[in-house]
Amino acid sequence: MPHEIQVKSILNKTKRRDPWFLDDYTLNPYSGCSFNCLYCYIRGSKYGIHMEEKLSVKTNALELLEKALTLRSKKGQHGIIVLSSATDP
């Protein structure tokens, strides 16, 4: 069962554009993953320990995204957003 969490930000600016995803921003409405796939690259990192127990839903993601997109739009900062770059969507 996923945990519900509140976060301070949801839209993350990438340091450099990935040649495969062509991302400017990442958006991860969840953290952790309940699948725990053997081939997952996250499993080998510090974030991969007991992933199925750490599944969380960022409940305030929509409100934060709306604010972030409005602010970026006013500043003329547009780009590609990759959804769920750290977990399966």
- Digit-by-digit pLDDT tens for the chain (89 residues) are 788 999 999 999 999 888 887 899 999 998 877 777 777 777 777 666 666 667 889 999 999 999 999 999 999 999 999 988 766 66
Residue 88 maps to a domain: no
Domain contains 89: no
Domain count, the chain: 1
pTM of the model: 0.77
In a domain, 63, yes or no: yes
Report strand pairing: 30-31 vs 56-58: antiparallel
CA atoms of 69 and 56, how far apart (whole Å): 23
What is the reported pLDDT for 50?
67
| Domain enclosing residue 53, as ranges | 3-83
CA distance 18 to 81: 12
Q: Is 25 within 8 Å of 79 (Cβ atoms)?
A: yes
- Residue 38 within a domain: yes
